[in-house]
C-alpha cells in the first residue's frame, strides 16, 4: 500500500471513530435537561454529523468510489457485481444503479413498411 492510500485509510478510520463518538454523544444528550446548552449541543451534533458524512463522501470519491446525488452530502455507491461485462454500482439509500436501464424501442410495422 503506498503512502497516499495508507493516509486515506487512516483518515477514513479516524472519521469512522468520530462518527461513532458523535453517535454516542447523541444517545447521552437525551439524558440532559432541556436548556439552551442542550439546544446548542443538538445543533453542534447535527453539524458535526453532516460534516462527517461530507468528509466520508470526499474520501470515498478520492479512493475512486462513485457517488449518488440523492442526498447531500452524497451517498457512496457500492459495487454489486457485473451486468453485461460492466461493473454495476448501487446506492445503498435509494437503490439507484450506475447502469442506465435499457430502453426497448418498438417501431410499428406500418412505419417501417416503406
The answer to whether residues 47 and 70 belong to one domain is no
In a domain, 106, yes or no: no
The answer to whether residues 75 and 48 belong to one domain is no
> Number of structural domains, the chain?
2
Is pLDDT at 24 greater than 90 in this prediction?
A: no
Tell me the residue range of the domain where 14 lies: 1-64
In a domain, 89, yes or no: yes
* Digit-coded pLDDT (tens) for 30-58: 788 888 888 888 888 888 888 888 888 98
Q: How far apart are CA 99 and CA 27, in angstroms?
A: 39
The answer to whether residues 5 and 60 belong to one domain is yes
DSSP string for 46-108? HHHHHHHHHHHHHHHHHTT-EEE-SSSSPEEEEEEEEETTEEEEEETTT--BSSPPP------
Which pTM does this prediction carry? Answer: 0.63
- Provide the 10 A C-beta neighbour count for residue 42: 13
Is pLDDT at 22 greater than 60 in this prediction?
A: yes
What is the radius of gyration, based on Cα positions, of the chain? Answer: 22
The answer to whether residues 59 and 73 belong to one domain is no
Amino acid at each position: 500500500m503506498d503512502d497516499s492510500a495508507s493516509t486515506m485509510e487512516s483518515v477514513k478510520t479516524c472519521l469512522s471513530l468520530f462518527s461513532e463518538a458523535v453517535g454516542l454523544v447523541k444517545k447521552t444528550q437525551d439524558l440532559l435537561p432541556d436548556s439552551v446548552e442542550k439546544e446548542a449541543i443538538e445543533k453542534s451534533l447535527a453539524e458535526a454529523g453532516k460534516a462527517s458524512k461530507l468528509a466520508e463522501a470526499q474520501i470515498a470519491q478520492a479512493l475512486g468510489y462513485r457517488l449518488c446525488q440523492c442526498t447531500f452530502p452524497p451517498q457512496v455507491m457500492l459495487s454489486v457485481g457485473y451486468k453485461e461485462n460492466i461493473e454495476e454500482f448501487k446506492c445503498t439509500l435509494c437503490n439507484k444503479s450506475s447502469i442506465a436501464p435499457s430502453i426497448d424501442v418498438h417501431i410499428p410495422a406500418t412505419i417501417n413498411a416503406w
